[in-house]
Amino acid sequence: MDLESIEQKCLGFLMQASNPLVPFENLVRHLREDESCAEFSEQDLLEFLGKHELFRVFETPGIREFPEATRKLSASGLPVGVHVILCTRIPSQRAVTEMIQGQLGVMTEALCAALAEVREMGDAEAENQLLDALSRAEKLKQMTEGLLRETK
C-alpha cells in the first residue's frame, strides 16, 4: 500500500467534495479507480486515516447494534455509517450553531403556516400539538442563541 499516493488522492478527493463529510465507501471507490492506489485493505485505510492528523473518521454510534435505528436515521437524511472529513473542513461551533438557527427558522415558519391552517379548520387538537411544537422550537432557539453568545 503506497501511503503517500493514497494520502494525496484522499486529500484531493476530500478537498473537492461538495459535502465535506464523505462516506468512507465513496472514498474507497474513488481510490480503487486509480491503479496506483487499488491495492489496499479497507481496514488498513481506515486505520491510516484514523491516525492521520489531516483526517477525522466518524462512525455512527450503535450502527451494528441497532440496525433498525440506523435505517431510520438514514431514511431521515442523517449521515450513517463511516464518514471521513478533512480537519480543515470541520465547521466551527459557531457555524454549526448558525446553521441550526437557520433550520429552526425555516421549521418555525412552516409550523406557523400549519397553525394558521388548523385554526381555520377549527382543529383544536392539531392546534395544541402545533403550539407545543412551536414552544419547543422557541426553547431550542434560545439555547442556540446562548451558544452563539458563548462563542463570541
pLDDT of residue 3: 83
pLDDT of residue 151: 65
Cell of 5: 499516493
- From 74, 89, 104, the end of a domain falls on 89
Sign of the torsion angle spanned by Cα atoms 60, 62, 65, 70: negative
pLDDT tens, residue by residue, 77-134: 666 788 999 999 998 888 888 888 888 888 999 999 999 999 999 999 999 999 999 9
Give residue 98's domain range. 93-150
CA 132 from chain center: how many Å?
A: 27
CATH number at residue 9: 1.10.10
pLDDT tens, residue by residue, 44-92: 999 999 999 999 998 876 566 667 766 766 676 666 788 999 999 998 8
pLDDT tens, residue by residue, 27-42: 999 999 988 777 788 9
Residues 11 and 54 in one domain: yes
Which pTM does this prediction carry? 0.63
Tell me how far apart the alpha carbons of residues 111 and 133 are, in angstroms, rounded to a whole number.
8
How many domains are contained in the chain?
2
Residues 98 and 82 in one domain: no
